[in-house]
Amino acid sequence: MQLTIENRSSDTVYTEQNTDQYQAKAAMDNTKIYDHAVHDFWEVDSWSIDLPGVRFGRYHIDVKEDIYVKTSEPAPLPGLVFIHSGQVSSRFHADSANHTFSSNRHAILFNPFATERTVFKKQKGLDISMVIFHPAYFLKIANDSCPIMDNMMDNILTKNIGNIAYNAHCRITMDMYRILAEISDCPFHGELRNIYLQAKAMELLVLQCTQMDEKRFLKGKQIKLSPDDIAKIYAARDILVENMQDPPSLTQLARLVGINDFKLKAGFKAEFSNSVFGYLNDLRLAIAKKNLLQHNKSLTEIAYETGYSSLAHFSNAFKKKYGLSPIYAKGAV
């Protein structure tokens, strides 16, 4: 695959010939490989993990000037893309539409490495995670799974590279962020590491497809939100986070940010793929799990700090979410 990078004056500043982005490394020993690349146009810190069938990558990029990346026609290389921060705009081969990928959004792409034209505006802190599947492995796991995966599978089999960006405006959920962190911090080695990381890739794919299918189903039923409405919904989210131990009621929260109850509930669901208090519960449990694994605190302290009225209430919620009571999770550290 031919890659060309141009500046705003259409001068070529970089070229590279790479036959296959996934198979570029001969060894797939599941170790975490770090890389640092400095060019006049950008500086990239990255890591990657290669497994049989799956590659994980994280890319922290400081873009020093506006650049335009072009590639030759892509081979099928299905990938999950998560934009933690920053923004990238792409136009894909056989697709005239421009797709903008911005902070806290995710997408499923036919080949994240290959676009007709990708625009990287000058910016600091562009932060992207990718999960790339080898086509044969993807076909193995995707058969009769869900409409989105079936569509992607058909595109791979027919080499149809149109219609390749799926719901680029879906938000990254807390569960997705949790799994991405677990991939980066995987504690296992050898074959167990392969099994663990492959399972995490599947979890991410399932979460993405579930969210996208739900969004498609609800598309015709969603209320319209103005930029001011969205700002108020994010303000409501911030109030919940800041008052996790003693959160306001839904009515109080709506009044605090100046929006009606219905629009707050519907807008929260649209923006965060969760109900208001479902989001709060997930946040509490994510913090509780982190404290269990990283801090020498009692279960009672952790329950109180995360806003649970009793240890029993906390234990029941934790077990329902993670399938394991907190006392056993703490003992497993």
Tens digits of pLDDT across the chain (333 residues): 788 999 999 999 999 886 455 554 444 678 999 999 999 999 999 999 999 899 999 999 999 999 999 887 666 788 899 999 999 998 876 667 788 889 999 998 877 777 788 999 999 999 999 999 988 888 888 766 677 777 777 677 666 655 455 655 788 988 899 999 999 999 899 999 999 999 999 999 989 888 887 766 555 455 678 889 989 999 999 999 899 888 898 889 999 999 988 889 888 888 887 888 888 888 888 888 888 877 678 888 888 888 888 888 888 888 888 877 888 766 554
> Are residues 211 and 246 located together in one domain of the fold?
no
Helix (H, G, I), strand (E, B) or coil at 32: strand
Helix (H, G, I), strand (E, B) or coil at 142: helix
* Nearest one of 148, 182, 136 to 322, comparing CA atoms: 182
Helix (H) or strand (E) holding 119: strand 117-120
Residue type, 90: S
Query: Which structural domain, as residue segments, surrounds residue 138?
Result: 2-220
Helix (H) or strand (E) holding 42: strand 42-51
Tally of domains in the chain: 2
CATH number at residue 153: 2.60.120.10
DSSP code per residue over 60-77:
EEEE-S-EEEEE-PPPP-
> Are residues 61 and 144 located together in one domain of the fold?
yes
pTM: predicted TM-score of the whole model, two decimal places: 0.70
Residue with tokens 């003693």: 246
Angle between helices 190-218 and 147-158 (to 10 degrees): 110
> Are residues 195 and 240 located together in one domain of the fold?
no
Helix (H, G, I), strand (E, B) or coil at 81: strand
> Are residues 193 and 264 located together in one domain of the fold?
no
Where among 177, 195, 220 does a domain terminate? 220
> Are residues 242 and 310 located together in one domain of the fold?
yes
Taking a C-beta distance cutoff of 8 angstroms, is the pair 217, 269 a contact? Answer: no
